[in-house]
Amino acid sequence: MDLKLNGKDISAGLLFLVTIVFLRLVWGLLAQKSRRRLPPTVKTFPLIGGLLRFMKGPIVMVREEYAKLGSVFTVNLLNRRVTFFIGPEVSSHFFKAPESDLSQQEVYQFNVPTFGPGVVFDVDYSVRQEQFRFFTEALRVNKLKSYVDQMVFEAEDYFSKWGDVGTVDLKYELEHLIILTASRCLLGREVRDKLFDDVSALFHDLDNGMRPISVLFPYLPIPAHRQRDRARARISEIFESIIKSRKCSGYSEDDMLQCFIDSKYKNGRPTTEGEITGLLIAALFAGQHTSSITSTWTGAYLLKYKEYMSAAIEEQKNLMKKYGDKVNHDILSEMDVLYRCIKEALRLHPPLIMLLRQSHSDFTVKTREGVEYDIPKGHIVATSPAFANRLPYIYKEPDRYDPDRFSPGREEDKAAGQFSYISFGGGRHGCLGEPFAYLQIKAIWSHLIRNFEFELVSPFPEIDWNAMVVGVKGQVMVRYKRRMLSIVE
Ligand code: HEM
C-alpha cells in the first residue's frame, strides 16, 4: 500500500482541520452567549408593547416589573433594550462606572440643540470633564458665599412686593423668584438688571422646545423646535455682546458668567463666547426647574404637616436669637431642620425621575439576593430616583413625609450604603449644584417663615408625571399673612 501523501491530500487535511477549529470557535462563542445570564425581560406585545407601557407611565411600569422580576430587568423599547437597575446594590456600577463602560453622551444627545454646539454632550468626554471642572470652580464655597448674598437680596425684594394679606399660587411665585435669582447668580447682572424680560422670554421658548418627542427626535421640524432654534440663536447674540463688553471694560462680577469667562482649558486656551453661552444655558437647565419644583414641594409639606413647620419656626427663632436678622452662607448652613425638610420633599419627589447611560462593554451585576446578571454591551442602562428613593427595605414607611428619618441616629439615607438616596444622582456624575440648590431653597423658606404665616387653601398637590422635569400638577394656592417672627418668649 502506498502511504505517501500528495499535495491534494495535505490541502484537504488542512482544510478539514481549519474547519474543525473554526466550528469549535463558533460553537464556543455561541455556548458562551447562551451561558450569559441575561436579566429577565418585561413581557409585552412585540415591537411597540414596551414603548406603550413606558409612555403610559415609566414609574408605574418600574413598580409593577420590580415586584415581578426583581431589581434588574430589561424592557424592549422599539429597537432598544433598556435595562433597569433598582436599588443601591445594583445601581452602584451605574454611578461609579468609567465613561468608557457607561456613558452619558449618546443618551443625553437630545440636549445638544438647546445647550448649543461645543459644550457638554456635544463634545468628547475629555473636554466635557474640563467643562465640568469650570462648573465645580464656579460653585466652590467662596463663590457660593457671594451668591447667597444675592439670593437673600432677591428673596427680600420679591416678597416685599406682596401685600399684608393675600392669596397666591405658591408654585407660580417660587418659579418666578427662582428664575430671578438664577439670572442674578448665574447669568449675571446685565441680564438681571437690563435684559431680564427679553432673556426670560427667550428661555421660555428654549424650554418649550424640549418635549418628550425631542428625546427621540431632537431635530424634528415641528414649530416648538423651530422656535427653540430661533431663541437659541438670539440668546447667543445677547450673550456674545455681554461677554465682549465685560472683557473690554475689564470689570469683574461675582457670578457664574464671570467664572466661565475666567476659565481656561488645561492647554491654556480660554473659553470662547459660544462655549460660555452654552455652559450658562446648561446651568440654568440643570438648576432652575429642579430647584423651583423642590421649593414648592417643601412648602406644600411644611403647610400640611404642622409639626415640621413648628420645628422649622423654632430653628429660625434660635438663629435669630443668635444672629439677629442677618442671613448669610454660614447661617443658612446651620439650618439643619430646614435642610431635612427639603431633603425629604426631594426624596419623595425627585424632579429627575430617570437617569440613563449607554453601555459600551459587557459587565456583570449582583443583586442583594446574590443573583448575578450579565449586561451586554449596547444596552441602555437606567435607574430611577423616583422609585428607588421609596424602597421599603431602606426607608421606613417610605411614602410618609418624615424629615426626621435623616436625623443623627436614624440616617436612613445611609443605611443601605452610598446610593440609597439618589435625588442628586451620585458617584462619577453626581450633581455639582446640590449645595447651590439647598442654599437657594433655604434662603427662600427661611425668609418666608420669618416674615409670613401661611395656610394651604387648595388640595395637597399631585405629581405632574407628564413634564420632562417632573413637578407639581396645577396650582398650589396659599393664603398668607405678613407677620414678623417674634423671638420674645
Ligand atoms: C433640587 C435641585 C437639583 C436636583 C434635584 C438636581 C439633580 C441632578 C441629578 C439627578 C444629576 C445627575 C444626572 C445623571 O446622573 O445623569 C445632576 C447632575 C448635574 N447637576 Fe444637578 N440638580 C439640581 C440642581 C442643580 C443646580 C442648581 C446646578 C447648577 C447651578 C446643577 C448642575 C448640575 C450639573 C453640572 C450636573 C452634571 C454633573 C456631571 O455629569 O458630572 N444642578 N443634577
pLDDT (tens digit per residue) in 376-396: 999 999 999 999 999 999 999
Q: How far is the centre of ligand 1, averaged over its atoms, from the C-alpha of 423 (Å)?
A: 9
Tell me which of 431, 439, 440 to substitute to probe ligand 1's pocket, judged by most ligand atoms within 8 Å of the beta carbon.
431
Q: What's the whole-number average pLDDT of the chain?
A: 92
**C-beta of 423 in contact with ligand 1 (< 6 A):** yes
Residue 4 located in a structural domain: no
**Quick one: pLDDT band at residue 2, thresholds 50, 70, 90?**
very low
Q: Which residue is associated with the grid cell 411665585? A: 173
Q: Which atom of ligand 1 is nearest to the CA of 294?
A: 1
Nine-digit cell string for 70: 426583581
Q: How far is the centre of ligand 1, averaged over its atoms, from the C-alpha of 95 (Å)?
A: 13
For residue 363, give the H/E element and its range.
strand 363-366
Q: How far is the centre of ligand 1, averaged over its atoms, from the C-alpha of 452 (Å)?
A: 31
**C-beta of 132 in contact with ligand 1 (< 6 A):** yes
Q: What confidence score (pLDDT) does residue 45 get?
A: 82
Q: What is the CATH number of the domain that holds 423?
A: 1.10.630.10
Q: How many CB atoms lie within 10 A of CB 138?
A: 26
- 9-38 tens-digit pLDDT: 666 665 655 565 555 555 554 445 556 899
Of 247-256, 290-299, 316-325, the poorest mean pLDDT is in: 247-256
Angle at 211 between CA 206 and CA 215, to 5 degrees: 110
- 118-138 tens-digit pLDDT: 999 999 999 999 999 999 999
**C-beta of 105 in contact with ligand 1 (< 6 A):** no
First to last CA, the chain: 120
CA 101 – CA 104 distance, rounded (Å): 10
Q: How far is the centre of ligand 1, averaged over its atoms, from the C-alpha of 426 (Å)?
A: 10
Residue 488 located in a structural domain: no
Q: How far is the centre of ligand 1, averaged over its atoms, from the C-alpha of 430 (Å)?
A: 7
Q: Which residue is associated with the grid cell 453601555? A: 359
Q: How far is the centre of ligand 1, averaged over its atoms, from the C-alpha of 279 (Å)?
A: 13
Instruction: Report whether pLDDT(161) > 90.
Output: yes
Does residue 3 or residue 379 have the better pLDDT? 379
Residue 20 located in a structural domain: no
**C-beta of 222 in contact with ligand 1 (< 6 A):** no
Residue 285: which domain range?
37-482
CB 436 within 8 A of CB 287: yes
Q: What confidence score (pLDDT) does residue 250 get?
A: 85
Residue 1 located in a structural domain: no
Residue 487 located in a structural domain: no
Residue 428 located in a structural domain: yes
Instruction: State the amino acid at position 426 in one-letter form.
Output: G
**C-beta of 471 in contact with ligand 1 (< 6 A):** no
- Number of domains into which the chain is organized: 1
Give the residue-averaged pLDDT of 220-242.
Answer: 96
Residue 18 located in a structural domain: no
Q: Is 185 annotated as a binding residue?
A: no
Q: What confidence score (pLDDT) does residue 17 get?
A: 57
- 326-347 tens-digit pLDDT: 999 999 999 999 999 999 999 9
- 169-216 tens-digit pLDDT: 999 999 999 999 999 999 999 999 888 888 989 999 999 999 888 988
CB 169 within 8 A of CB 350: no
Residue 21 located in a structural domain: no
Give the residue-averaged pLDDT of 350-360.
Answer: 97
**C-beta of 437 in contact with ligand 1 (< 6 A):** yes
**C-beta of 426 in contact with ligand 1 (< 6 A):** no
